[in-house]
């Protein structure tokens, strides 16, 4: 028995190095794979978005005396180090993670303990638990070390007063009126992307193209005139960094984390050089913040005005954070909207009718406006239902920085705390027929209880870019449904979580060009 435990321990240590990521080409052409073939295994390396730190010291072990004194949540920690890690990995890769969590909740209740990647972890389930996580993480819980190492001092990693300061600066830039001013830039980038990567092709793979589009849009907003060149120069590094954020923070050469640290350094160097050049060229007349200023320039002007005590490093770190946040979420939403629309033509026809009506009131070549976005009510309901059924992030981990009491149970300092979105998103007591794709459920938002639908988080960590994500998605879908019809190359294609949801063949589709003047039923 001791021998097998030793083997398991060694495998767990070496997993990040052994399960190296196989990079896929970032092109739009469909790539044939044998029927039933799965993407290269990489989940052990990148189990969780904001996943738990791989720390062999772990939380201080609880002595028998301490266990008796504290009312720990029910559950089973399993074998030391291994715990429920492999079981959860299998569930994620087979897209049965919701069933996995519900089995845990059914057995132990809405507050239970387990062990994931060597860390004792408490699963908190339900709307009340979501609220507790959102409103207490600023001073009780902290992000995982992988994210802190890769993105440093950013809105993704800070807490308390530091978070409030950075969040204030970010919200000033991402407030709705600023997003409206950038809408023309978003519109132009979407059109450019579609002309270069979709038009004239019979078959494309949606996932890599959606990822490429998301990066291009956010870089045009963050870097302004340098956006295209930065996108081309750093696309591979941002992909590497994105994968590393989902990895175990083990500093072994050739692992995702090690590659991510190198990519982060290269990205930081490029952005720092851009920021220094912009800072040197700031003029007095820019003291009044230009409405069209890109993110870098805007933050530098705020700093020069003394509105926020941001260092140059803070601006660079948050530029990286905003790019990661926009890129890693929106492309999943666009991919799975196209997934659902390929399967449900009746919903596609309703969206097309809505988008055709908007286009009818515009001159050819005119960019979309915020008023146009506001008219895309049904399209946004489809987006919300996509976020409910396929949340881009399956769960959120934090670390208790002090002993916490919740619902009568004690969560010791150093333990991880996990909130899984699907627990409320797919709860039949909260949503009627939760596994049915039905955008009409969002016609009455008052019918959805608070803290049940949480694609953009909540409380102090509510995503400040949710309006930006909405604008980006709506503009992309407007031009896609107006120009194309598509069929899935693999009608039975499934998706897995790695840990973000992704179709196993990256959703190759056959494209048919649609006349802009066609009727909505065409």
Distance from the first to the final alpha carbon of the chain:
65
Return all residues near 376 (Cβ < 8 A) that are at least 6 apart.
354, 355, 358, 474, 477, 478
Residue 119 in 3-state DSSP?
Answer: strand
Asked if 303 and 289 count as a contact pair (C-beta separation under 8 A), the reply is no
CB atoms within 10 A of CB 54: 23
122 forms bridges with which residues in the sheet?
A: 113, 417
Q: Is the dihedral of CA 247, 249, 254, 258 positive or negative?
A: positive
Nearest to 418 by CA among 92, 67, 93: 92
Tokens 């899984």 -> residue? 420
Rounded Cα distance, 180 and 176, in Å: 6
Q: What is the DSSP letter of 55?
A: -
Judge whether 184 is annotated as a binding position.
Answer: no
Q: H-type helices in 198-311, by residue range? A: 206-223, 227-245, 256-281, 295-304
Rounded Cα distance, 499 and 106, in Å: 23
Residues found in the chain: 522
Containing H/E element for 120?
strand 119-124
Asked if 359 and 239 count as a contact pair (C-beta separation under 8 A), the reply is no
- Give the strands of the sheet with 203-205, arranged side by side: 203-205, 508-513, 484-488
Return all residues near 1 (Cβ < 8 A) that are at least 6 apart.
none
Rounded Cα distance, 385 and 178, in Å: 26
Annotated binding site: 463
Annotated binding site for heme: 463
């Amino acid at each position: 028995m001791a021998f097998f435990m030793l083997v398991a321990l060694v495998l767990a240590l070496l997993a990040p190095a052994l399960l190296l990521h196989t990079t896929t080409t970032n092109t739009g052409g469909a790539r044939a794979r044998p029927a039933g073939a799965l993407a290269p295994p990489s989940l052990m390396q990148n189990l969780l978005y904001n996943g738990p730190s791989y720390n062999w010291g772990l939380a201080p072990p609880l002595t028998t005396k301490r266990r008796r004194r504290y009312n720990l949540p029910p559950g089973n920690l399993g074998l030391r180090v291994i715990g429920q890690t492999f079981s959860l990995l299998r569930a994620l890769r087979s897209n049965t993670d919701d069933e996995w969590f519900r089995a845990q909740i059914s057995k132990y209740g809405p507050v239970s303990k387990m062990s994931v990647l060597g860390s004792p972890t408490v699963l908190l389930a339900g709307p009340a638990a979501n609220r507790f996580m959102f409103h207490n993480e600023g001073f009780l819980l902290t992000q995982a070390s992988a994210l802190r190492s890769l993105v440093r001092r950013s809105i993704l990693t800070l807490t308390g007063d530091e978070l409030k300061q950075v969040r204030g600066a970010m919200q000033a830039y991402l407030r709705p009126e600023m997003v409206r001013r950038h809408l023309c830039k978003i519109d132009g980038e979407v059109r450019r992307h579609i002309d270069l990567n979709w038009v004239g092709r019979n078959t494309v793979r949606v996932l890599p193209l959606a990822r490429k589009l998301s990066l291009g849009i956010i870089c045009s907003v963050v870097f302004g005139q340098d956006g295209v060149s930065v996108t081309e120069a750093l696309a591979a590094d941002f992909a590497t960094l994105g994968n590393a954020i989902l990895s175990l923070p083990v500093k072994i050469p050739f692992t995702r984390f090690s590659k991510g640290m190198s990519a982060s350094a290269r990205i930081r160097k490029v952005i720092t050089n851009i920021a220094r050049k912009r800072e040197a060229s700031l003029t007095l007349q820019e003291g009044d913040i230009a409405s069209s200023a890109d993110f870098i320039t805007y933050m530098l002007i705020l700093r020069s005005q003394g509105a926020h005590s941001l260092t140059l490093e803070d601006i660079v770190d948050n530029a990286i954070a905003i790019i990661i946040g926009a890129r890693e979420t929106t492309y999943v939403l666009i991919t799975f909207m196209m997934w659902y629309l390929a399967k449900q033509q009746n919903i596609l026809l309703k969206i097309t009718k809505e988008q055709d009506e908007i286009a009818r009131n515009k001159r050819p070549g005119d960019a979309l406006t915020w008023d146009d976005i506001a008219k895309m009510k049904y399209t946004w309901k489809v987006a919300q239902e996509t976020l409910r059924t396929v949340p881009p992030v399956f769960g959120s981990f934090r670390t208790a920085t002090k002993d916490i009491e919740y619902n009568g149970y004690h969560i010791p300092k150093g333990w991880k705390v996990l909130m899984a979105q699907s627990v409320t998103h797919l709860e039949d007591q909260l949503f009627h027929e939760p596994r049915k794709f039905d955008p009409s459920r969002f016609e009455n938002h008052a019918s959805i209880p608070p803290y049940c639908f949480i694609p953009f988080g909540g409380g102090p960590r509510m995503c400040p870019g949710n309006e930006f994500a909405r604008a980006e998605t709506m503009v992309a879908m407007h031009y896609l449904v107006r120009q194309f019809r598509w069929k899935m190359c693999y009608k039975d294609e499934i998706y897995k979580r790695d840990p973000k949801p992704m179709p196993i063949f990256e959703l190759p589709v056959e494209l048919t060009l649609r006349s802009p003047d066609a009727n909505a039923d065409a």
